[in-house]
A and B are shown apart, each in its own frame.
Chain A
């Protein structure tokens, strides 16, 4: 992760932080100055970078882990707020990415549980996403996502998380193991099982969407 804390940066030089043109940097800076805690001013810069570098990852992960489009804003904020609160306790034993993925998995799990209590997951939102590059691409991507999301819904929570981190986010098994707090061998077995489940699923539901 990019480090904004250059040598010689100290509390007497807050300008480096206040110069950041983003509203988040301003708010964090303000909050940190209120606290009078230099260490947290440094954190604010790191947190800003953390957000920029991981926003897309967290958004995609939450969607792939079953958070509905209607709840995605809240879920993403929950992840980053949790990260903000825990930032001082982050000891870099794992990478920031695996750390955030672990938080996102917990948040997604809570959202899914909440949806189940409400009477089931929300139906797929075919109008989503808004960011596809063109009509044909959008059609292909939307169809692919419709199938994949149904497949993911058919997996249990553990297999789903491992599969999403591996196949959607391209993480290695050791990274997934750290993010989920499970042994690496368990990751491999879950991925193997999910891969088999996908073959079965597509043999029944994959017509017209397979590339």
Chain B
């Protein structure tokens, strides 16, 4: 090896060290990548419920039945997994029909009502009159057509829903960091999304779960003040360890 080759070797070794990633880079990107892979599967595994086919049913049978039916489809999809959709990667746009029967004892969480309302674009008044949280009645056998939507807005809402649903699941699993990564993705992809209140609630819960700090609790406090009637209020209060009597309007972070 001649002198110049030695110099070249030394120079390149130093340059290589200069562009070596830090351990924090590795960890940060691992989490971001995990979130992206999770999203990839969620977006493909959960079908879009055809709004155009559900609405006539609602007109005929009443909003109560249809809201529960649509909720049952989504809850059933999440609960029982997407085994029905095995092979979806090879055939992402195959139209198929799925039958889901929920157990009689199944109780739908409030968030499902909220998400279904968004999916079907029901207004809040309609939702309030059609859903009685905590009611555990017999669920009818539901048949829904799972087909791709041609409407870009519906697709956008569906994607936003999927991301939000994934964030909520990761919070329930105690993985706040991944949840916050998902929420950052949501902010970037849907800065003017249709589920901003739900997104804020998820972020507050993830922050509180991640670190029991005054700032996190202040965010929780601010959320409860701004959205006192939210279906997330109890969970926010619980995760952020906020006593309902102590939710005050002079919180330093009340400008949420």
Contacts and interface: CB of A to CB of B under 8 A. Distances in A.
B222 to A, nearest CB: 28
Contacts of B11: 144, 147-148, 209-211
B213 to A, nearest CB: 22
Given A23-B177, A195-B8, A51 B30 contact: yes
Interface stretch (B39-47, B139-147, B228-236, B248-256): B39-47
B134 interface: no
Interface in B19-41: 19-23, 25-26, 28-38, 40-41
Contacts of B36: 77, 81
B163 to A, nearest CB: 13
A109 interface: no
Contacts of B21: 55-56, 59-60, 131
Interface stretch (A1-9, A30-38, A179-187): A30-38
Interface in A17-38: 22-28, 30-37
A71 interface: no
Interface size grouping (class) on chain A: 35 or more
B20 A167 contact: no
A37 B88 CA distance: 11
A198 B22 contact: no
Nearest to A210: B7
Nearest to B15: A148
Given A23-B177, A76-B29, A60 B14 contact: no
A21 to B, nearest CB: 11
Interface stretch (B59-67, B78-86, B197-205, B237-245): B78-86
A168 B30 contact: no
Dominant SS at the A interface?
helix
A111 interface: no
A129 interface: yes
Contacts of A99: none
Given A64-B19, A129-B19, A24 B14 contact: no
Contacts of B175: 23, 26
Nearest to B31: A23
B82 A36 contact: yes
A72 to B, nearest CB: 8
A77 B29 contact: yes
B16 interface: yes
Best-surrounded residue of B18, B22, B28, B40 (most CB of chain A within 10 A) = B18
B17 interface: yes
A60 B177 contact: no
A34 B85 CA distance: 8
A210 B88 CA distance: 56
Given A23-B178, A132-B17, A59 B25 contact: yes
A65 B23 CA distance: 21
A73 interface: yes
Contacts of A97: none
A181 B10 CA distance: 29
Contact of A24 (B9, B30, B45): B30
Interface in B68-86: 81-83, 85-86
Contacts of B18: 128-129, 132, 141-142, 144-145
A63 B20 CA distance: 9
Contact of A30 (B14, B28, B41): B41
A63 B13 CA distance: 14
Contact of A167 (B8, B17, B30): B8
A202 B4 CA distance: 10
A-B CB proximity, top 7 nearest: A31-B41, A144-B14, A145-B18, A24-B34, A27-B38, A141-B18, A131-B22
Given A55-B29, A56-B20, A145-B15, 15 more contacts: A23-B31, A27-B34, A27-B35, A31-B45, A35-B41, A35-B85, A36-B82, A59-B21, A60-B16, A77-B32, A131-B20, A141-B14, A209-B11, A210-B11, A211-B7
10 contacts: A23-B177, A26-B34, A31-B37, A36-B81, A59-B19, A131-B22, A147-B11, A168-B12, A209-B11, A211-B14
